[in-house]
Amino acid sequence: MDGRPTPPLALPKPGRALTAVLVVMAVIGVTTALLTTLSIPHGSLLFALLACEPPHVLYEPWTLMTSGLVTSPSGWSHLFFSLLGLYFLGAPLERRWGGWRFVLFLAAAVLAGNLVILAVSAIAPPGGRFHPELVYGPSAAIAAIAVAWSREYPDATVNLFFFVPIRGRVFLWITLGLCVLDLIYPAGMPEGVVAPFGGVAAGVLFGGSPPLVRRAWLHLKLAVLRRRSGRMSAQDWLAPKPPRRTRPGGPPLRVVPGGLDDVLKNRTPPKDKRYLN
């Protein structure tokens, strides 16, 4: 379990976190499809409860996260390729990061994708592809995983479309190119055409070891410490340390007599010394 990517001809073994995500997404996808296609009364309530409606997101804030688990109920391809993308690139990341970081990373990617949709919808002209009425799907999470994988394994090889070997460094730019193509050809993008860009941002910020956000925080902390040390004069460095304050109400220290030396000193030697050894 060293976190290295799986060889091209071997199927990756997902951990517990990725397995749980895949199972939950598959169950939700099949359940919402059955409830919708079988014309069950109020069968679409589960889908409406989990999918995100940007105009009403203030009344349903949980949908900013749950929309990443929902797939299209009208066809199996959306669910199948979503599970496939999470499975192949998510397994090596989970082995390298651990389950908790991997799940938090997926949640941050879905949230970032939906926030980008809300931001673009607020500034874009009315009408058009930038004002979706309903968004759902894990494209932001898949884009984030692709970017994070390319940053973690820049020299590793992944088989694009199962037979085209691509280096990790090149795979990053291919992911960005696919996001641009989704923006130009918006058909079949229930997640929203700008959601993958939020995933790319999440992959850049939170992917890598250490993540870019952590490195920025450490650099900022180092700059603050250097600035504080620059303000200190020679007198501050040479000044004697203040005496340690004793704990109020603490008992005074004292030496308790006793020990092995005192026992041996006060012991009377035996008359018969044959048994001393």
Boundaries of every domain in the chain: 16-218
Give the integer Cα–Cα distance in Å for 63 and 50: 6
Segment holding 160, helix H or strand E: strand 157-160
Give the integer Cα–Cα distance in Å for 106 and 109: 5
Give the integer Cα–Cα distance in Å for 117 and 114: 5
pTM: 0.74
- Nearest C-alpha neighbor of 147 from the set 214, 67, 206: 206
Under 8 Å CB-to-CB from 175, ≥6 apart: which residues?
Answer: 143, 146, 147, 150, 200
Query: Structurally, what CATH architecture does the domain formed by 16-218 represent?
Result: Up-down Bundle (1.20)
8: pLDDT strictly greater than 50? no
Query: Which range is least confidently modeled, 15-29, 94-108, 212-226?
Result: 212-226
Mean pLDDT (whole number) for 59-83: 90
pLDDT, the chain, mean: 81
pLDDT digits (tens, 9 = 90+) for 109-166: 999 999 999 999 888 888 778 888 889 999 999 999 999 988 888 877 776 666 677 7
How much is the pLDDT for 259?
66
183: pLDDT strictly greater than 90? no
106 or 270, which is more confident: 106
How much is the pLDDT for 62?
92
